[in-house]
Structure 1
Amino acid sequence: MNRRPTIVIAPDSFKGTATATQAAELLAEGVREVLPDADITLAPMADGGEGSSEIFHGQTITLPTTDAAGRLVEASYTFDAASGTAYIDVAAASGLPAVASQPVPTTGDTYGTGVLIADAVSRDATRVMLGLGGSATTDGGSGILTALGAVLRDRAGYALPKGGADLINLDNVDIAELNIRAAAVEWILLTDVSSPATGPTGSAAVFGPQKGATPAEVMRLDASLAHLCSVLGVDGTLPGMGAAGGVAIGITWLSTLIHGSAEHIHILPGAPLIARATGVEELIPTADLVITGEGRLDSQSFTGKVVGTLHALTAAAGTPLAVAAGIIEGSLPDDLLAVELEPGVGVEKQLRSAGREIAQRMISTLQG
């Protein structure tokens, strides 16, 4: 090598096997075996799904709460006291892995996420950045509202059962016990999809089956979210309203109720914001190579995910991009170097091996 190559390693998490930080470290170990003098910057990434909270700096707060099925669990979030910002993943308390063996598509709720939000506000958080990916629920954020003191009632005045299916019976929301401080925070909702709340591309239709919903349950959930939007006066057609089972519906209503407008709620694609906030975007133009990774690389990887975001940024900067992925499916852009992880071995060996292979295959490019 004529000079030390500059390499940015910015993977997403490999769900259930390696966090983004762990993946970055392991890929770097593999790269260094081939390019020991490389100037490597580790820049773990996320897209608003699982692992987004830990990307940000602050104190890790862990407390008892409930999962999507209502069972007692522990969940964590990141709190930056200096900026008054809480970074919370919906997946931390209300994620799919915890209920994967017994899905709760119609009764699962986001109450546990609301507990985390209330705790953050008790620590004087004035801004909540909520990662919306990976939820097990389609409840329109009603569980969060309940945890913050709202009571969703039917026409007879009874509180609705938890979950999304019974939202079709919503008549009004009782706010007598509402946590006003929590409702008044600045909300930043990070999405990894641009789906609207309802319809053929909406939350229930696209993601309901992944959460265990039958066709009949999908129809019921879709109708329930449409009714929720109607009663709360929320425009469910906006991009991102369908993320995390429609969580943005409830939070949009909540913030608008307190402030009189939706100016204090921001629904944004997660991966671009995280790339900007963590400095990855600034690093790319000066890098010789960017390496990322995720569990599955396919066409959906280029619709709001980490890989698609980094591909757009590297293409604009003229920087090569390599991807290590557990599974690779479908056609990929010609300018993308993709390496599939070796099957049948541990994730540590897989990622180190992928780092080595990427470095070996990119040596000629880096020398140029």
Structure 2
Amino acid sequence: MPAPIRGKDLKNIKRIEYEPQNNAVTLSVIVDGNAKAYEMEGITNLKIGKTFNVERREILKTCNKGIRNIINVTGVLENQDFSGAAGGILFGIEQCFRNVSYCLGSDYFAQKLRLEDAVQSSDLVITGEGRLDNTACGKAPSVVMDIAKKNRVPLWFVCGQVSKEIADSLKEGIINDSQSIVLKNMGISKLFTCQTYYNQHPVEGGYEQQIKTYREKTPRILKDLFIRGFE
């Protein structure tokens, strides 16, 4: 059994061969975002854990070399829709199948679950994710935000961290749209984040100890923020 291809191997690929019978297959692919290939460096950087900070630059350099090479080998355009989504799914799947269509998982499930009907009958919508940064790249929270904004329903966003442009507005763990034009443009009425607390109270210890502390403290921090949010 051949060894699996890993990220560091991408720069060494010379060509990709596929079986002709796959032309008869029609494939519908649901992806988690609409990032393009040229945006993959930023996304990869976010996924490198703190334990690899020393090697971070080398990891990014290796990944970028591989991405540039696979773009040349496959002919997939770096600004092609979905080319950077799901770890660069187009680079592999389009070499195996010729009749492929793509759609955002967030759009698919929003329609399947009739999400807009639920939002229209709500007084408040709450959504969130681990970090508010490239959320607008077709991820599920962005669809929730768009629907809430369209129907003028107040939306609260909960997250652990925020991007720098939003962090500049941070003074406490709660920001409203009158304090941040970025939030207003995204349709977020109020943002709740643990980042301020952890900036003021750094978590010490090794990686496992830090994760344990985050898991223990974060629910209590968010609970306190929510109580304040309803005041």
Q: Does 2:60 match 1:241?
A: no
Q: Does 2:163 match 1:313?
A: no
User: Amino acid of the residue matched to residue 173 of structure 1?
Assistant: I
Q: For residues 281 and 292 of structure 1, do their structure 2 counterparts lie closer, same or farther at Cα, with a shift above 3 Å needed? A: same
User: Amino acid of the residue matched to residue 131 of structure 2?
Assistant: R
Q: For residues 286 and 224 of structure 1, do their structure 2 counterparts lie closer, same or farther at Cα, with a shift above 3 Å needed? A: same
Q: Does 2:173 match 1:338?
A: no
Q: Secondary structure at the match of 1:202?
A: helix
Q: Does 2:57 match 1:221?
A: no
Q: For residues 166 and 272 of structure 1, do their structure 2 counterparts lie closer, same or farther at Cα, with a shift above 3 Å needed? A: same
Q: For residues 327 and 225 of structure 1, do their structure 2 counterparts lie closer, same or farther at Cα, with a shift above 3 Å needed? A: closer
Percent identity reads: 19
Q: Residue 292 of structure 1 contacts residue 321 of structure 1 at CA under 8 Å; is this kept in 2? A: yes
* Residues in 1 aligned to 2:225 and 2:109: alpha-carbon distance in whole angstroms: 24
TM-score norm. by structure 1 comes to 0.42
How far does residue 185 in structure 1 lie from its aligned partner after superposition? 5.8
User: Amino acid of the residue matched to residue 206 of structure 1?
Assistant: G
Q: For residues 352 and 319 of structure 1, do their structure 2 counterparts lie closer, same or farther at Cα, with a shift above 3 Å needed? A: same
Q: Residue 291 of structure 1 contacts residue 321 of structure 1 at CA under 8 Å; is this kept in 2? A: yes
Q: Does 2:94 match 1:278?
A: no
Q: For residues 184 and 355 of structure 1, do their structure 2 counterparts lie closer, same or farther at Cα, with a shift above 3 Å needed? A: farther
1:94-109 equivalent positions in 2, closer than 5 A: none
Q: Residue 76 of structure 2 contacts residue 83 of structure 2 at CA under 8 Å; is this kept in 1? A: no
Q: Does 2:126 match 1:291?
A: yes
Q: Which one has the bigger strand percentage?
A: 1
How far does residue 353 in structure 1 lie from its aligned partner after superposition? 4.6
Q: For residues 350 and 306 of structure 1, do their structure 2 counterparts lie closer, same or farther at Cα, with a shift above 3 Å needed? A: farther
* Residues in 2 aligned to 1:174 and 1:340: alpha-carbon distance in whole angstroms: 47
* Residues in 1 aligned to 2:192 and 2:45: alpha-carbon distance in whole angstroms: 30
Q: For residues 209 and 175 of structure 1, do their structure 2 counterparts lie closer, same or farther at Cα, with a shift above 3 Å needed? A: same
* Residues in 1 aligned to 2:39 and 2:73: alpha-carbon distance in whole angstroms: 18
Q: Residue 285 of structure 1 contacts residue 317 of structure 1 at CA under 8 Å; is this kept in 2? A: yes
How far does residue 169 in structure 1 lie from its aligned partner after superposition? 2.9
Q: For residues 171 and 302 of structure 1, do their structure 2 counterparts lie closer, same or farther at Cα, with a shift above 3 Å needed? A: closer
Residues 42-81 of structure 1: CA deviation (Å, up to 9, x unaligned): xxxxxxxxxxxxxxxxxxxxxxxxxxxxxxxxxxxxxxxx
Q: Secondary structure at the match of 1:251?
A: helix
Q: Residue 233 of structure 1 contacts residue 253 of structure 1 at CA under 8 Å; is this kept in 2? A: no
1:132-281 equivalent positions in 2, closer than 5 A: 162-175=5-18, 184=25, 186-196=27-37, 201-203=38-40, 205-210=41-46, 211=48, 214-256=56-98, 262=99, 264-266=100-102, 268-281=103-116
Q: Residue 18 of structure 2 contacts residue 95 of structure 2 at CA under 8 Å; is this kept in 1? A: no
* Residues in 2 aligned to 1:322 and 1:255: alpha-carbon distance in whole angstroms: 41
Q: Secondary structure at the match of 1:206?
A: helix
Q: Residue 31 of structure 2 contacts residue 86 of structure 2 at CA under 8 Å; is this kept in 1? A: no
Q: Which one has the bigger helix percentage?
A: 2
Q: Residue 17 of structure 2 contacts residue 95 of structure 2 at CA under 8 Å; is this kept in 1? A: no
Runs of 5+ consecutive residues of structure 2 not aligned to the other structure: 169-179, 199-212
How far does residue 314 in structure 1 lie from its aligned partner after superposition? 1.1
Runs of 5+ consecutive residues of structure 1 not aligned to the other structure: 1-145, 147-158, 257-261, 362-368
Q: Residue 236 of structure 1 contacts residue 249 of structure 1 at CA under 8 Å; is this kept in 2? A: no
* Residues in 2 aligned to 1:353 and 1:237: alpha-carbon distance in whole angstroms: 43
The residue aligned with 1:32 is none
Q: Residue 135 of structure 2 contacts residue 142 of structure 2 at CA under 8 Å; is this kept in 1? A: yes
Q: Does 2:174 match 1:324?
A: no
* Residues in 1 aligned to 2:63 and 2:159: alpha-carbon distance in whole angstroms: 33
Q: Residue 160 of structure 1 contacts residue 167 of structure 1 at CA under 8 Å; is this kept in 2? A: no
* Residues in 1 aligned to 2:69 and 2:158: alpha-carbon distance in whole angstroms: 42
How far does residue 354 in structure 1 lie from its aligned partner after superposition? 5.0
